[in-house]
Each structure stands twice: as structure tokens, then as C-alpha cells.
């Protein structure tokens, strides 16, 4: 049961578009500007380095958190 929970948790967490959300918080739709990618590089170019760094950290955390939790359950 814990494995199924972790699978669903990892999927839901990974599906959060952090770059898009940080762009929206800054009033910019990053899908429509720059390269159109919602990744950290485009966010940094279009919105600013701070939001790009936050996007990068959030994306890394989205991969790290489920891995860490599943190893320690």
C-alpha cells in the first residue's frame, strides 16, 4: 500500500508545472514568451534569475523528495 501511495504522490508532485507557476506569479505566461518552455532556463531568461533559480530548486525537489521518502519508508 505504501508503494502505491508513493507512486501516486511522485506522479502528482512531478506534474506541478513550477516554471509556469513562478511565471504567473510574476505576471508572465512563459509558454508564450522566450522559447515557450516552462523550464528553469526560460523562466530565468524571461522573468528573472531569481525566479529561474527558484524553478530549478523546485524541480530538483520534485525529484528528490519522492526518492528520499520512498527509500526511508
Report whether 55 contacts 39 (CB < 8 A): yes
Q: Which cell numbers hold the place of 37?
A: 518552455
User: How does pLDDT run along the chain (73 residues), one tens digit per residue?
Assistant: 888 999 999 999 999 999 999 999 999 999 999 999 999 999 999 999 999 999 999 999 999 999 999 998 7
List of residues 6+ apart from 31 with CB closer than 8 A: 20, 23, 38
Residue ranges of the alpha helices (H) in the chain?
A: 2-14, 18-25, 40-46, 49-71
pTM: 0.89
> Residue holding cell 512531478?
14
Question: How many Cβ atoms from other residues are within 10 Å of residue 63's Cβ?
Answer: 12
Amino acid at each position: 500500500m505504501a508503494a502505491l501511495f508513493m507512486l501516486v504522490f511522485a506522479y502528482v508532485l512531478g506534474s506541478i508545472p513550477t516554471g509556469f507557476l513562478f511565471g504567473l506569479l510574476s505576471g508572465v505566461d512563459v509558454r508564450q514568451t522566450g522559447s515557450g518552455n516552462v523550464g528553469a532556463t526560460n523562466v530565468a531568461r524571461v522573468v528573472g534569475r531569481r525566479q529561474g533559480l527558484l524553478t530549478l530548486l523546485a524541480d530538483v525537489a520534485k525529484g528528490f523528495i519522492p526518492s528520499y521518502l520512498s527509500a526511508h519508508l
